[in-house]
Amino acid sequence: MKDVTTKQPLYVSTDGTAGPYIMVPVSQLDAVRQLLRQHHIPHTVDENAISLNGEPEVAVVDLGHGGDAKKVQQILDSVA
């Protein structure tokens, strides 16, 4: 699945120890959440989104401490 604003693939970040996460444009959030739900991937969405220099707002999808970054990346990559 590509980021609709940058046209780059969405990717699962593994920075830090707080669990993997995905930065997603707000306009694409529903589609990403639907995909995660279809695959029974537990997740939460941060309650605030940020826009820089007037660019589209970006939200953070948290996959939790036990989140499987590799599996979620495969799921995202499987969608055109």
Partner 1 sequence: MALVDDVRALRDRPLAELTAAHDYYTDTKMAWQIVQKVIRAGHRITIRNMTTGTVTQEAQLAAKARDYVAEDLAEATFQQFVSIFEYFFFDLLRLWLMAYPQSLGGKVLEFKNVLEAPDKDAVTFYVVSKVLNEIAYERPKEWFAYLEARARLGCPTTAEIEQIGEAKASRDILAHNRGVANRIYESKAGKAARYTDGQRIEISERYHRETWELIRKVITDLSDTAAAKIA
Nearer CB in complex with partner 1: 35/56: 56
The three-point CA angle 29-45-73 to 5° equals 65
Q: Does 52 bind partner 1 (CB under 8 A)?
A: yes
8 Å CB contact between 33 and 47: no
Give the C-alpha separation, 69 to 80, whole Å: 19
Size of the site for partner 1 (CB under 8 A): 18
Q: Does 50 bind partner 1 (CB under 8 A)?
A: yes
Q: Does 16 bind partner 1 (CB under 8 A)?
A: yes
Report the interface residues with partner 1, using CB under 8 A: 13, 15-19, 21, 23, 44, 46-48, 50, 52, 58, 60, 62, 65
